[in-house]
Amino acid sequence: MKSMIRKLATSAAVLVCLGTAPATFAQNKPHIGVAIPAATHGWAGGVVYWANRTKAELEKQYPGLKVTVKTAGSAAEQANQVQDLHTANKIDTLVILPFESAPLTQPVAQLKSKGVYVTVVDRGLTDPSAQDAYVAGDNPGFGKVSAEYMAKALGGKGDVVVLRGIPTVIDNQRVDAFTAVMKTHPGIKILDAKHGNWNRDDAFKVMQDYLTRFKKIDAVWASDDDMAVGVQKAIDQAKRSDIKLVLGGAGSKEYIKKVMDGDKLVTADVTYSPSMIADAMKLTAAARVKGEKVAATTIIPSVLITKENAKQYYEPASPF
């Protein structure tokens, strides 16, 4: 994982665009506020881990730079924190992974109008003009890579069920890309696609329903490693032996370890790492200490993890 982050940061840094620092920018000694969701589930826990780890790395790398990390358990709490970061902490730069897009758009736009440089991560705002830069994983790529692997693993034939995430633009992009690939494989049938909300318990209930309704399932696209946990629990309880593949996503250490160890059902995973917050922080810090701007958009590719390359993505210290 460490080598992957270095590669991403290096390649993304090529995209940095030169610009003039706003008048409010403290030259060479920026104060970066980082606003992220609290560790309400595994992936978010990973975001918190990488944000705090990167804070320490950046403050050591750039003497005089300051990073303040705030976590929020709701959109309303995060909106208040964004304001406090400006008024109380006096930040001149904001890196934010919005709890939700719509409720955070206006508060972030207000900070930008006051001269704060804004990098938005993952969950885009409803008004892109409220941000200076956007850093995210490749959601269409996530769905495409997943579908291509599953189709190949099934030999182009089989019955598949899908678990979707929370109803969002991100989820739509993933599922649309997955479905588009599967349409090119007429021998594969998607039996149903329901929302498991990136939650283990919800996914368990959805999978129980699938197992009750469908007597033959060849593969499950859980589309998230947290949901894959619930899926596998339901399969085990039902003692079903027809399922050949469970494919999650996001690259949790638990599922990368399964791939490494040769798990019968979990033979691959797809990256959508919470370490993207680290990439965003590093890109933003590198640009701001020079009085430059980050590229308007930086997309971090989704990579297929198999037994052959799993070791390089395994980060045992991360909570996710």
| SS3 track for the chain | CHHHHHHHHHHHHCCCECCCCCCCCCCCCCEEEEEEECCCCHHHHHHHHHHHHHHHHHHHHCCCCEEEEEEECCHHHHHHHHHHHHHCCCCCEEEECCCCHHHHHHHHHHHHHCCCEEEEECCCCCCHHHCCEEEEECHHHHHHHHHHHHHHHCCCCEEEEEEECCCCHHHHHHHHHHHHHHCCCCCEEEEEEEECCCCHHHHHHHHHHHHHHCCCCCEEECCCHHHHHHHHHHHHHHCCCCCCEEECCECCHHHHHHHHCCCCCCCCEEECCCCHHHHHHHHHHHHHCCCCECCCEEEECCCEECCCCHHHHCCCCCCC
The rounded distance, in Å, linking the Cα atoms of 27 and 22 is 10
Q: What is the pTM of this model?
A: 0.76
Predicted confidence at residue 28, as pLDDT, reads: 67
- The confidence score (pLDDT) of residue 317 equals 81
Domain ranges of the chain: 2-137+273-301, 139-270
pLDDT at 17: 37
Superfamily (CATH H level) for 139-270: Response regulator (3.40.50.2300)
CATH architecture of 2-137+273-301: 3-Layer(aba) Sandwich (3.40)
Q: What is the pLDDT of residue 169?
A: 75
Report how far residue 40's alpha carbon sits from residue 24's, in angstroms, rounded to the nearest whole number: 35
Report residues of the chain scoring pLDDT below 70.
Answer: 1-28
